[in-house]
Structure 1
Amino acid sequence: MTVPAPLTGVVPPVCTPLTPEGEVDVPSLLRLVDHLLDGGVSGLFVLGSSSEAAYLTDRQRRVVAEAVTGHVGKEVPVLAGAIDMTTPRVLDHVRSVTEAGADAVVVTAPFYARTHPAEIARHYRLTAERSPVPVVAYDLPASVHSKLPAELVLELAAEGTLAGLKDSSGDEAGFRSVVTGARAHPGITGFSVLTGSELLVDAALAMGADGAVPGLANVDPHGYVRLYELCRAGDWTAARAAQERLCALFGMVRAGDPARMGGGSAALGAFKAALHLRGVIACPVTAEPQVPLSPEEVERVGESLAAAGLL
């Protein structure tokens, strides 16, 4: 499938269901994909943060990419993370996921080694030169410890290196600079600007963003698609109410006790617990060494689902 230019709508970062032994649970993964497609999503993003890509082996990443692209066929575009520390390793992932059938790749800045903006630009240019599919930048400073400057993103977009941006930086001013800069630049066409926020989708769309990549959309794809459609229709009062419902639902990520687990364990554990409670996946286990939710914490996730009308 050719990725629409720009890609719009809700593109969930697909969770990776695992067996109790820590292997990819392909039947659950495909049920999750069907759950998302039934919700009306515009695309799927596998092997990102919500997919636990950092915890998966290269073999497991390939299993995920092949399973999802093979199941979806050409129904919606599949974006796949090619996320690693250096350009050569990223190019290995690009080769793997595109051979599996991915329609675009999503790439962070390099990490571990400290990088200069010139090196980040070189990383994206080399990746785009050798990728057979479009490259979407992933701005994730919390994990890669460098921020993609708006001016660099726009420069790479204008020269055709980047086809889009998934912004999970939390920098609303920088995000707005990309949105307005892409709209105003005569050399930028078909560039997708997507927010990774669960909580500010209505605000991002009001700014002019093309769509959203919210992890919580795994749990409630229908809710996010409805929010997107309300924003596109200009019904901002109803959109605000839909966003506030989703903000309340997102409270499930606080079910985990911060004294004994990190925010990633709590959030991914909550998403998977919710999917298990909804009957979508067989097992809510997260990859090691993440700390699992307790039965009491899972019960609190269930209360969030019930309050949102999802149980």
Structure 2
Amino acid sequence: MGSAVTNEASGQRVPPSSPISLQGIVPPLVTPLADRDELDHAGLQRLLDHVIEGGVAAVFILGTTGEAPSLSYRLRREMIAESVRIVGGRVPVLVGVTDTAYVETVNLAEYAAECGADAAVLTTPYYFPAGQTELTRYVQSITPKIPLPLMLYNMPGLTKVWFEIETLKQLSEIPSIIGVKDSSGDLEYFERLCQLKSIRTDWQVLIGPEALLPQAMALGGDGGVNGGANVMPSVFVDCYKALVAGDTEAVDAVLATILKFQEIYEIGKYASRHIKATKSALSLIGICEDLPADPFNRFLAPQREQVAEVLREIGVLGKGK
């Protein structure tokens, strides 16, 4: 990662160029499981081939959709090594490294770098809520120990702590931070986040909630980290391309499919339904099994049929299946 330089004419700090391009759709990959603490290698191969062939810009493993906090350290490492091997340089691989323990975060980032991953992703430490001063010092302290470009991940719904804009402004001085993924769903916050690109012109800002992709792009976002792209990557890629081209008719058509697909997230009564629905959909289209990590249970037959019906309506699943 290059260091920032100073423009001799203006005296202004010029940020380094980002080492990877994340403009487009970056699926937050599910972790296919064959059993408790057992990776489904064949399912992972099919899943990675599926999303890469669908045109995604990169893949993000061990995030929220990947159930990272529920996985053993051994399995996380296996997921990293296998994913990098299978991808084989076709697209960048981003690895979630967040842990409640500082040292485990560093250890995982070092392992990801050894395996050949392209970037690390770090959210706010969870369980014990950090104040913004503590959070700033934490990132400033840990970043030099992470031997990869780093994307910050704002996920206040689960970590209970925001990367506040002023905090990010301070952290923008760290050259190895290449951007932010925001899953808050707050478009006012997202707009202010995109304005930080005036300070760090190399930053890439991605939206999490997939239905907000058009609004996020209009505010200056660079793409989406959208869970639905596990299932139908080409649909999300088509949406992104239509947005870039300014083709409103194409955007409306593909967005209708995305919004219909989102009905699967309303199936079931627990907060885990988003992950269970995504894995159920992947199982139905023959990519990988639908087993989630403990403490979650997979959908029962009635819920699975509801997912199947949505997939049939949007043409992802054949009518006879």
- Report matched runs for 1:30-69 at 5 Å: 30-69=45-84
Matched to 2:271, the amino acid is: G
TM-score by length of structure 1 reads 0.93
1:177 aligns to 2:189 (yes or no): no
1:206 is displaced (CA, Å) by 1.2
Residue 237 of structure 1: aligned partner: 249
Residue 311 of structure 2: aligned partner: 305
1:271 aligns to 2:283 (yes or no): no
Residue 291 of structure 2: aligned partner: 285
Question: Percent sequence identity over matched residues?
Answer: 33
Q: Is the 8 A contact 2:21 2:57 kept in 1?
A: no
- Report matched runs for 1:1-311 at 5 Å: 4-182=19-197, 184-185=198-199, 188-256=200-268, 258=269, 262-264=270-272, 266-281=273-288, 283-311=289-317
Cα distance 1:66–1:213, how it changes in 2: closer, same or farther (>3 A)?
same
Report the 3-state secondary structure (helix = DSSP H, G, I; strand = E; otherwise coil) of the residue aligned with 2:177: coil
Q: After TM superposition, what 4+ stretches of structure 1 lie above 3 angstroms from structure 2?
A: 1-6
Q: Is the 8 A contact 1:111 1:145 kept in 2?
A: yes
1:114 is displaced (CA, Å) by 2.4
Report the 3-state secondary structure (helix = DSSP H, G, I; strand = E; otherwise coil) of the residue aligned with 1:106: strand
Separation in 2, partners of 1:14, 1:199: 18
Report the 3-state secondary structure (helix = DSSP H, G, I; strand = E; otherwise coil) of the residue aligned with 1:217: helix
Cα deviations by residue, 1:109-156 (Å, 9 ceiling, x for unpaired): 112222111111112122221111111101011111111111221321
1:55 is displaced (CA, Å) by 0.9
Unaligned runs of 5+ in 2: 2-16
1:169 is displaced (CA, Å) by 1.1
Deviates more, 1:151-160 or 1:297-306: 151-160
Matched to 1:300, the amino acid is: Q
Q: Is the 8 A contact 1:110 1:123 kept in 2?
A: no
Report the 3-state secondary structure (helix = DSSP H, G, I; strand = E; otherwise coil) of the residue aligned with 1:138: strand
Separation in 2, partners of 1:302, 1:141: 31
1:237 is displaced (CA, Å) by 3.2
Q: Is the 8 A contact 2:96 2:120 kept in 1?
A: yes
Matched to 1:11, the amino acid is: V
Cα deviations by residue, 1:181-236 (Å, 9 ceiling, x for unpaired): 32x32xx1210100011111111111110111001110110100000000000112
Cα deviations by residue, 1:156-184 (Å, 9 ceiling, x for unpaired): 124425211010112211111011232x3
1:240 is displaced (CA, Å) by 2.8
1:244 is displaced (CA, Å) by 2.6
Q: Alignment RMSD, CA only?
A: 1.7
Rg (Cα) greater in structure: 2
Separation in 2, partners of 1:224, 1:239: 10
Cα deviations by residue, 1:14-34 (Å, 9 ceiling, x for unpaired): 111111444111111111000
Matched to 1:246, the amino acid is: I
1:238 is displaced (CA, Å) by 2.1
Matched to 2:250, the amino acid is: A
Unaligned runs of 5+ in 1: none
Q: Is the 8 A contact 1:3 1:104 kept in 2?
A: no
